[in-house]
Amino acid sequence: MTEADFYQQRPSYWGQVTDNLARWLGLQHLTVLDVAILLPLFPLLIIAVIVWMPWESWVWKNVPKTIIGTYLLYCAFAFWHFHAHGWLVLLVAIAGVGVCSIALKEIHDRRKLWQRPEI
């Protein structure tokens, strides 16, 4: 036996942070990897508020769809990682792929405008 066996071990700072975050979210336990996956999802709350505001059409026109599409795909991965319902993961993944395909079409159309016409 060592001296550490007789004294209560205090969790590290990051251990306390992950435990507090898990308790706040209603989860059992979070690892540092879980927190790293979870932190980029917090802007999703802001996006949900923006969608119901009057300037929603401005956001859809001015924010690049490549960013929106890849963020939706990341959200689908994070939902899958945290064992969300399969229908939610699939719905968000389909929306992300759809927005990415719209972005690719817009990029292709822009590229066509700059091509030299064939003679």
Q: Locate the domains of the chain by residue range.
A: 1-30, 38-114
Q: Per mean pLDDT, which of 30-34, 58-62, 102-106, 111-115 is the most reliable?
A: 102-106
Who wins on pLDDT, 65 or 115?
65
Residue 89: which pLDDT band, with cuts at 50, 70 and 90? very high
pLDDT of residue 56: 64
Mean pLDDT of the chain: 80
pLDDT of residue 90: 96
Q: pLDDT at residue 102 above 70?
A: yes
Q: pLDDT at residue 14 above 90?
A: no
What is d(CA 95, CA 57) in angstroms, rounded to the nearest whole number?
Answer: 17
